[in-house]
Amino acid sequence: MLTSSEIDRQISAFRMIEDIVGAMKAYAGIAIRKTDELVSNVREYEESIFQAMAGIVAHHQKIARKIEYSGQGRRILVACGSSQGLCGLFNEKMADAVLREIKKGDALFVIGRKLRLSLESRRIVPEYYADSVASASGIQGALEEALSRLMDIYSRREFYRLAFIFTGISGGRPQILIERVLPPVIELTGQGDNPPVKNQNPPLLYMDAGRVFEKLIDHLIFITLYRSCAESLRSENWYRLQSMERAGENLRRRLSGIEALQKYVRQEEITEEVLEILQSGETDKKT
């Protein structure tokens, strides 16, 4: 049986792990709050890009026809996962979704080391890979290289389609989303209080409309990649928070059990000490 001092060391170790789990829960909670605000702001910017693109397409038929033609050709599929662990089934579910979505001829671009390993275990080897980020503040810097590589792939004439697959949070629950970026899905009918784009005056442009549209495409790819990574980071930390809460509950049960054992062992040690003292007293009387 364990001694009380050995149990004390186990309790200290459990307490230390409990502190680490608590710190990771706090970090995950902060990351979720930061990415919540970030995703909301990015969506507004993304919407403004779509509005600008819709204004150009509505009044330049050549560009509209070019978009229609660009639905042909190979596709780049960008999958967002994580490079950090302790996030439950986050990367495994993403890998399963990629396995269902990927088609023959697709060029797979993976963000996140853990996701890449999950895919490779399913015999899916990505053509391109970039590491993911651990915090919201590091997204933009980390995406510079990833965006450069992505744009290099897209510049090849055989690629005309681009889609992102990532995990988002909807209704407080994670959901895997697949979003087509290119060719862009442009709404020309207007929504809510916005009048139909076709009925608006043509946009005032000081540059060639085609050139402006190409630049808007560049911005669209970047901002969608940015949002996908932000939403993926938020979902990763949602999974991590759930994992840490389960780990914390398990630690509390283990501590409760070992503390009960500590009381029992300590009582047994005290009883043995008392018996030794009594036996020692009886021996002294006989002598």
Of the ranges 50-54, 164-168, 194-198, which is most confident? 164-168
Residue 98 domain-assigned (yes or no): yes
Residue 197 domain-assigned (yes or no): no
Residue 284 domain-assigned (yes or no): no
Which residue range is the domain that position 138 belongs to? 21-186+207-242
Distance CA 136, CA 22 (A): 20
Average pLDDT value for the chain: 84
Assign 156 a pLDDT band (cuts: 50, 70, 90). Answer: low
Residue 171 domain-assigned (yes or no): yes
Residue 16 domain-assigned (yes or no): no
| Residue entry with tokens 């681009």 | 162
Residue 12 domain-assigned (yes or no): no
Residue 25's domain is classified under what CATH number?
3.40.1380.10
| Residue entry with tokens 């988002």 | 168
Q: Is the predicted pLDDT of residue 101 greater than 90, yes or no?
A: yes
Residue 250 domain-assigned (yes or no): no
Distance CA 237, CA 229 (A): 12
Assign 189 a pLDDT band (cuts: 50, 70, 90). Answer: very low
Residue 270 domain-assigned (yes or no): no
Domain count, the chain: 1
DSSP 69-138: HTTSSEEEEEEE--SS---TTHHHHHHHHHHHH--TTPEEEEE-HHHHHHHHHTT---SEEE---SSGGG
